């Protein structure tokens, strides 16, 4: 028997079988009839890639893989055509979530009033604190316009700081547009102005004089 005749005989045998028997060897029993919209919906969510098969006491391949039925050819084409969608959507959502968290934490750090924003004796806002509050109420986007005050070990001093910020907000915006003030435990992530100024002055004082190497050219 030639190869052509053998293939033709196999095709005739498969066509002679009932549709339910044909589907039984490929798909799980109880599924919808092949070719119907329900049939394609039923198998459209199958994962891509190879399947893990148990054969002679071993799982092939030896790494975790799906054990469900393989994708339909049309679904394989769809997955290859639009790859990596939809598997990349979760990764993108995770990256966006991390970015949003970093942005929110950055604005919280920027809108926090630290120790150097208050007078060390009275715990009222000093000049730097009032300028910082003015920037917060005028330049920060509204969704991040939330003032935070760093708490201290003295509850009275902490409450005085909060009251000073609230009073200054009321004086700038009015009592009808009050912005809630929240407490947080934090330390500044940068050096204060005194340290920065002394560092820059030392850098400028110890800077060597500029020297340009050149060779004089005489006219003939």
> What's the structural domain count of the chain?
2
Closest CA to 112 of 181, 163, 24, 179: 181
Same domain, 179 and 107: yes
Q: Does any domain span residue 92?
A: no
Q: Are 159 and 124 in contact (CB under 8 A)?
A: no
Report percent pLDDT > 70 for the chain. 85
Task: Outline where DSSP puts E strands in 28-105.
Answer: 53-55, 58-60
Q: Does any domain span residue 209?
A: no
Contacts for 183-188 with beta carbons within 8 Å, 24 or more apart? 183/148, 183/149, 183/150, 183/151, 183/158, 184/108, 184/112, 184/148, 184/149, 184/150, 184/151, 185/150, 185/151, 186/109, 186/112, 186/114, 186/148, 186/150, 187/114, 187/150, 188/114, 188/115, 188/116
Same domain, 107 and 68: no
Residue 24 has pLDDT above 50, yes or no: no
Q: Could you say which of 72, 91, 115 is where a domain stops?
A: 72
Distance CA(46)–CA(71), nearest Å, equals 6
Q: Does any domain span residue 156?
A: yes
Tokens of 212: 């340009």
Give the bridge partners for 148, in sequence order.
112, 182
Q: Does any domain span residue 211?
A: no
Q: Does any domain span residue 118?
A: yes
Residue 12 has pLDDT above 90, yes or no: no
Q: Does any domain span residue 90?
A: no
Q: Does any domain span residue 136?
A: yes
The per-residue pLDDT for range 84-132, each reduced to its tens digit, is 988 899 999 999 999 999 999 999 999 999 998 999 999 999 999 999 9
pLDDT band per the 50, 70, 90 thresholds, residue 173: confident
Same domain, 110 and 44: no
Domain of residue 53: give its range. 3-72
Distance CA(71)–CA(74), nearest Å, equals 8
Q: Does any domain span residue 166?
A: yes
pLDDT at 22: 39
Question: Where does 144-189 have alpha helices with state H?
Answer: 155-173
> Once rounded to an integer, what is the mean pLDDT over residues 162-186?
89
Lowest-pLDDT choice from 16-20, 140-144, 149-153? 16-20
Same domain, 113 and 176: yes
């Amino acid at each position: 028997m030639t190869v052509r005749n053998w293939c033709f005989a196999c095709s005739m045998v498969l066509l002679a079988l009932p549709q339910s028997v044909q589907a039984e060897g490929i798909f799980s029993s109880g599924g919808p009839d092949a070719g119907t919209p329900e049939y394609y919906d039923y198998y459209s969510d199958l994962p891509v890639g190879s399947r893990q098969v148990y054969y002679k006491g071993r799982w092939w391949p030896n790494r975790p893989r799906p054990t469900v039925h393989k994708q339909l050819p049309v679904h394989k084409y769809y997955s290859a055509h639009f790859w990596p969608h939809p598997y990349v959507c979760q990764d993108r959502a995770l990256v966006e979530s991390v970015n949003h968290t970093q942005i929110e934490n950055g604005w919280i750090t920027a809108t926090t009033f630290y120790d150097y924003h208050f007078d060390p004796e009275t715990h009222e806002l000093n000049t730097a604190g009032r300028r910082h509050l003015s920037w917060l109420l005028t330049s920060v986007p509204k969704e991040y316009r939330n003032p935070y005050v760093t708490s201290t070990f003295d509850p009275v001093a902490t409450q005085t700081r909060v009251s000073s910020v609230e009073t200054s907000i009321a004086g700038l915006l009015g009592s009808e547009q009050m912005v809630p003030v929240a407490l947080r435990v934090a330390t500044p992530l940068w050096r204060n102005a005194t340290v920065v100024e002394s560092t820059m002055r030392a850098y400028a004082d110890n800077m060597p004089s500029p020297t340009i190497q050149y060779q004089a050219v005489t006219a003939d």
